[in-house]
């Protein structure tokens, strides 16, 4: 049923991965970050397509996401980047996925519930180099080393990683901070070199392009896989492009007269006769309510301003003189114009939030 839907160009996602990979150092690998339903693009579909391209490393945010991928036949390593309640860790084992060990406290709690089975659970140790979110503090190199060695003893440890927090901005202070994060991470990696852990990684999308670590052979590729920018100031490599378009249809068109208002709160008032199109997509679909009287949509290549408030299930647009009819296709978010990054700029947010916010009731089509 075509009411509100997105069209996802899977070839573009694969092409983005290919181009990004070609810019990494020789021998480096991509870990595809497919959390949050692959940033709204469909985690199972994206992961399967990447499997077919030979990508065998994936990262998700939680156990439910990891299990979904396994249940749908996704191959390779699946790393849960965040918290899993320790009482669920038997399922991490059963589904052959990898759990991040957040810190020493988490390791101890995991051991208590897993007992002797802990040695079979794949795990990676988080190192905190400045994000101050998860991980053992890299400012204490001895403590960090002890943590990693303890993890290697107790779990089936396959790697260590850290997360960069300003790799996407190029001002000197951010660049210096990122270099320092990488230095701290490399120091820890060097101290545990003898463990020969296969997965040592510190780069996100931005890091992989603009900050390369000598000991990180893996880039955790998220937002750029989907053709969007980590930060509005970035220029993406040639050929990397958005893969998603969000569309809806004109449900009806009516004429309103001078003095009439549109929608809740009567926030739009006509000063002359206007043609108003009703479009069956609303904030419950993820169309941001802050676009009320502010955003625009595109119909047959022409911009139509959103007038009145965005409703839960519908929006209204001014289509005066555009010759618009019920059934006409409406572009809410595009690949070339009206992109997620452009919408994000208008809303004071990031493209990530726009694509992740597109709701479950918006049908995904793969083109």
Ligand X SMILES: *Cc1c(COP(=O)(O)O)cnc(C)c1O
Give the binding site for ligand X (CB under 6 A): 33, 35, 81, 163, 204-205, 220-223, 230
Which residues on adjacent β-strands are paired with residue 78? 58
Q: How far is the CB of 61 from ligand X (least distance, A)?
A: 7
Dist CA 344 CA 228 (whole Å): 11
Pick from 148, 150, 127: which is nearest to 139 by CA? Answer: 127
Residue 31 beta carbon to ligand X: minimum distance, rounded to whole angstroms: 8
First to last CA, the chain: 16
* Minimum CB–partner distance for residue 135 and ligand X (Å): 10
- Region for 38 from its dihedrals, namely left if φ exceeds 0, alpha if ψ lies in -120 to 50, beta otherwise: left
Q: Which is nearer to ligand X, 310 or 354 (CB)?
A: 354
The residue among 205 and 339 lying less far from ligand X, judged by its C-beta, is: 205
- DSSP assigned state of 362: S
Beta strand 296-299 with 156-161: parallel, antiparallel or unpaired? unpaired
Q: State the Rg of the chain over Cα.
A: 24
3-state helix, strand and coil shares in percent for the chain, rounded to the nearest 5: 35, 25, 40
Residue 175 three-state SS = helix
Report, in Å, the least distance between residue 214 CB and ligand X: 19
Q: How far is the CB of 283 from ligand X (least distance, A)?
A: 24
Specify whether 247 is catalytic: no
Q: Which is nearer to ligand X, 20 or 147 (CB)?
A: 20
Give me the helix-helix angle, 10-23 and 43-52, nearest 10°: 60
Q: How far is the CB of 155 from ligand X (least distance, A)?
A: 19
Give 19's contacts (C-beta < 8 A, 6+ positions apart). 237, 238, 239, 240
The catalytic residue among 2, 117, 153, 264 is 264
Nearer to ligand X, 135 or 308 (CB): 135
Separation CA 124–CA 127 (nearest Å): 10
For ligand X, which is the closer residue by CB, 223 or 244? 223
Judged by CB, which is closer to ligand X: 38, or 148?
38
| Residue 83 is a catalytic residue | no
Set 35, 154, 229, 247: catalytic member: 35
Instruction: Determine the Cα–Cα distance for residues 325 and 33; give it in Å rounded to an integer.
Output: 41
| Cα separations in angstroms, 199 against 60, 164, 216 | 16, 17, 8
Closest residue to ligand X using C-beta atoms: 222
Helical axes 141-154 vs 172-191, angle rounded to 10°? 50
Give catalytic residues, as residue numbers. Answer: 35, 264
């Amino acid at each position: 049923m075509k009411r509100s839907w997105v069209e996802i160009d899977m070839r573009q996602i694969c092409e983005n991965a290919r181009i990004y990979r070609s810019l990494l150092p020789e021998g480096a690998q991509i870990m595809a970050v497919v959390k949050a339903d692959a940033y709204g693009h469909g985690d199972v579909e994206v992961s399967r397509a990447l499997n077919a391209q030979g990508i065998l490393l994936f990262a998700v945010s939680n156990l439910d996401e990891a299990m979904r991928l396994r249940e749908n036949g996704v191959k390779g390593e699946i790393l849960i980047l965040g918290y899993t309640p320790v009482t669920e860790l038997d399922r991490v084992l059963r589904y052959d996925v990898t759990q991040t060990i957040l810190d020493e406290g988490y390791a101890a709690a995991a051991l208590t519930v897993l007992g002797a089975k802990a040695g079979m659970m794949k795990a990676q140790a988080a190192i905190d180099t400045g994000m101050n979110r998860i991980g053992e503090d890299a400012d204490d190199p001895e403590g960090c080393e002890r943590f990693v060695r303890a993890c290697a003893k107790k779990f089936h440890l396959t790697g260590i990683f850290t997360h960069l927090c300003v790799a996407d901005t190029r001002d000197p202070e951010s660049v210096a901070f990122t270099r320092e994060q990488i230095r701290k991470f490399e120091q820890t990696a060097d101290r545990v070199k003898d463990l020969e852990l296969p997965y040592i990684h510190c780069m996100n999308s931005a890091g992989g392009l603009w900050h390369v670590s000598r000991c990180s052979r893996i880039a955790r590729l998220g937002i750029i896989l989907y053709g969007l920018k980590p930060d509005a100031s970035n220029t993406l490599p040639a050929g990397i492009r958005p893969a998603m378009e969000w569309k809806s249809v004109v449900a009806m068109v009516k004429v309103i007269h001078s003095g009439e208002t549109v929608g809740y709160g009567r926030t739009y008032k006509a000063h002359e006769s206007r043609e108003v199109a009703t479009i069956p997509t609303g904030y419950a679909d993820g169309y941001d309510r802050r676009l009320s009287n502010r955003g625009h949509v595109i119909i047959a290549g022409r911009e139509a301003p959103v007038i009145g408030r965005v409703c839960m299930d519908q929006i209204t647009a001014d289509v005066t003189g555009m010759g618009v009819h019920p059934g006409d296709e409406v572009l809410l978010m595009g690949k070339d114009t009206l992109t997620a990054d452009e919408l994000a700029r208008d809303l004071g947010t990031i493209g990530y939030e726009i694509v992740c916010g597109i709701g479950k009731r918006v049908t995904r089509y793969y083109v």
